[in-house]
Structures are given as structure tokens and as C-alpha cells.
Amino acid sequence: MASKSVIQSVKGTREFYPEEMAQRNYIYSKVREASQTFGYQEWDAPFLETIDLYAAKSGEELVKEQSFCFPDRGGDLITLRPELTPSLARMIAQKQGELAYPVRWWSFGPFWRYERPQRGRSREFFQWNVDMLGVNSPEADAELIAVGATFLKLAGLTPQFATIFVNNRRLMDAQFDALGIPAEKRLDVSGAVDRRTKMEPVKWDEYVLEIGLSQEQLDGLKQILTNFDLWQKSDELVRLFKALEALGVKEYVKFDPNIMRGLLYYTGTVFEAFDTSGSVRRAIFGGGRYDNLLRDVGGDPLSGVGFAMGDVVIGILLKEKGLIPAFVPTPAPVLVTIFDESLWMESFSLAAELRATGIKVTSYPEPAKLPKQFKFADRMGAKVTIVIGPDEAAAGKVTIKNLTNSTQETVARADVEKTVRKILEG
């Protein structure tokens, strides 16, 4: 094997060998199932966008520090999309008058962020996005949470392993107001709330006082953040939890006043799913309600709710918990061996006959010792091997071996399909 001479992959990019590709496709299949169960339509947006799309709305840091950005041949600044929502807003705005509302769209595709790779985070990742636009209600919020919960359920993550924590920006703003925290400090306070669990309590207290809150306000804030019954003061959240119960996913959801989410554009309900068994401390998915997004790209005001899930964290979790199905290397359960030069084409035409009946068949590509061919079949996860040797050829027969239980039988050529199907179905 060459080693030092191999040109390295770009830092933080993903190489999907067949096993990893199977895992990615598995996640994709569950994402699709969860989305379609609720009637969401699949869509996608360009992978390349001009930087202006993000400059308008996304945070400074995202555009300047964390996006892959380069000039094209005409000198325009092109960005590898770091998120989907601005593209969504534009595409909705462009056809705002002709879409059937509510719009329920989902997407699963690649994104890029120029961050430092570490556990649960790479520079290239796949992200599931689900959004509903045109309905502004706690019940719509509940549906999105239910889509997420349904995915968790389909993937085998029970409420014991994963929890969706919910909060509401309006509720928190009202609480901050009641403490006399001025509106211009809300952002700083939200930031402080976000990092509370990451800091030592004493340090966090100092940090909050540094922002400019009084000791009294700090005490009040801490009271709010430890009050897990606070949701009862929010009509929206009361309705949300009622709807979640009706939708059958309540056991996945908990109110948590500490959930804020960094995104500026969330205006109401926000939520974040976490692994509760403690291996990865990053969010599995997160989202919330945004009211002003379309207006920011020139459309008419239209409220939406949505969330996004990266493939990296969920992939680690599912793998760790043994929830990814065992990898079978070959998609073809049948392997036809090539006995020798003279019987080569005999095997090829048998393989073709079987394929014509709809069975997936691979053949050894050339004559080789049978042990080698059987070993290959075994390593590729084939269930059936077929041998046409001189004896079979002379008798117009074929030997079929069931690799699962090591039995084999020699049957007339006309019975091959039937025999193979019996093994594959049994």
C-alpha cells in the first residue's frame, strides 16, 4: 500500500466507504420515513450560494469565519452552503403566491462549515431539515416536534435514551421583563443561559453580573431557570403539550427553561433533542418557530417552524447503541463461481438468466480456485454460491450451496431459480 504519497483528503471532509455509506443511507431512510409519515415533501436547494444570501441574515461569525467561501471566475463570492434556511426563505418567497399552504418540506443533503473538526462535528456533514410554513400555532409546533420524535422512535432511540427539551422565547422574554431586564440585554442574557450548564456556578454568577444584571435580577433569573413548572404560565406551551399528548409523543418531550438556542431568528417555541445516556453532549437536533424570515429576504411575512439534524451526532449515537443494522457488504445474495476457463461463459449465462428473473447475482470475474471463490463469497456476505463444474455441465445440472447452513444440492438447470428463491426466502 502506498502511504505517504497518497494525497490527503481535505480536512474535515467525509469519506464514505461502503459500510459508512450504508450507515448514511440507513439514517436517510429513517429520516425519509419520519418525514413522509407526516406528509412532508422532499426538496433541495443549491449547494452553492452567493455570500449575500447569508450576509443578509445569518450571524457575522458564520459568514466570515465558518463558511467555505471563494471567488468564482467572474469574481463573485460563492459560498458552500452552511445552512439551508436562507435558501428555503428565498425559494418560498419566489413562489409565495402559488404554493399550497401549509408548505411541509423536508430535505437531507450536504453542508459545509469551516470549523475545527472534533467528536460529533466535521467540516462536511449531512443535515436533515424539516419545515412547515404558513401556519402559526402551537399545534403546528407540536407537529414538528412529533416528526422529530417519530424519527427517534423509528431509529430505536426510546425516551429513555433521548429527550426533546422545549422552551418558548416569548415566555422567557416575559419573565425577563418581569425582572426588569431591559430588551437590549436579552441577547446577552440568552447567551448566558445557553452556557450555564457548561460553567461553574460561581463563575456563571460572576458572568451574569458582568453583563450588567443586579444581584436581585440574578437571583430571579436562577429561580426562573430552575422552575420546571414555568410552562404552565404560557398559553402556547400549555396548548403545545396538549397537542403532543394527542400526537402520542409526549413521553419524549420535557419543558426546560434553560433551552434558548443561539439563533437570533427564533421567536416562539424552541426545542432541542439530547442524548440522555451521556455519551455525546451535543444536540441531536434543534429548531423552533421563526416569524420574520421571509420578510428578511423580501417576501411577505410568513410564519414557519422547523428543525435540523446533522448526521454526525446521530450516527455516533446509533452506532454506539448498536442500532445500525449489521452491514452486509454485497447487495447480491447470490455468487456464481467460475470453475475453469472452459466453463466460464456457462457461469456467466447462468448469472444472466437469474438476473433476468429479478434476483441480484454477482459472479466471480474469472476462473480461480474454488476455496478462494467461496472465501470471497463469505467475506462479501453472500447467502448462496452456485457451482457449474464438469460434472454438472455434463449432466445439465447446477450445484447450489446455502452458505447459511452449509447444505448443498445439485438440481436441474430448470429448477435453479426456484431453488435459489427458496433459500433466499427461508
Partner RNA sequence: GCGGCUGUAGCUCAAUGGCAGAGCACUUGACUGUGGAUCAAGAUGUUGUGGGUUCGAAACCCAUCAGCCGCCCCA
Binding stretches for RNA (CB under 7 A): 1, 3-4, 8, 11-12, 57-59, 61-63, 66-67, 82-83, 85, 113, 115-121, 191, 194-195, 198, 261-265, 281-282, 286, 339, 369-372, 374-375, 377-379, 385, 387, 389-392, 399, 401, 403-404, 406, 408
Q: How far is CA 407 from CA 6, 360, 364, 369, 410, in A?
A: 45, 21, 21, 20, 11
Three-class secondary structure of residue 188 per DSSP: helix
Three-class secondary structure of residue 402 per DSSP: strand
Nearest CB to RNA, comparing residues 172 and 247: 172
The secondary structure of 60-106 as a DSSP string is: HHHHHTSS-EEE-TTS-EEEE-S-SHHHHHHHHHHTTTTSPSSEEEE
Nearest approach, Cβ of residue 378 and RNA (Å):
3
Residue 111, H or E segment: strand 103-112
Nearest CB to RNA, comparing residues 39 and 117: 117
Instruction: Tell me the torsion sign for CA atoms 203, 205, 211, 215.
Output: negative
Nearest CB to RNA, comparing residues 193 and 243: 193
Scan for cell 402559526, then name that residue.
Answer: 136
Three-class secondary structure of residue 138 per DSSP: helix
Nearest by Cα to 297 from 265, 341, 321, 252: 265
Nearest approach, Cβ of residue 231 and RNA (Å):
21
How many other C-beta atoms lie within 10 A of the C-beta of residue 364? 21
Nearest CB to RNA, comparing residues 358 and 426: 426
Nearest CB to RNA, comparing residues 183 and 394: 394
Nearest approach, Cβ of residue 192 and RNA (Å):
10
Nearest approach, Cβ of residue 73 and RNA (Å):
26
Nearest approach, Cβ of residue 297 and RNA (Å):
13
Three-class secondary structure of residue 209 per DSSP: helix
Nearest approach, Cβ of residue 106 and RNA (Å):
17
Nearest approach, Cβ of residue 227 and RNA (Å):
23
Nearest by Cα to 149 from 307, 279, 23: 307
Nearest CB to RNA, comparing residues 375 and 422: 375
Nearest CB to RNA, comparing residues 153 and 261: 261
**Total residue count of the chain as it appears in this document:** 426
Residue 355, H or E segment: helix 344-356
∠ CA 301-304-308, nearest 5°, is 140
Q: What is the CA radius of gyration of the chain?
A: 28
Nearest CB to RNA, comparing residues 40 and 207: 207
Nearest approach, Cβ of residue 93 and RNA (Å):
17
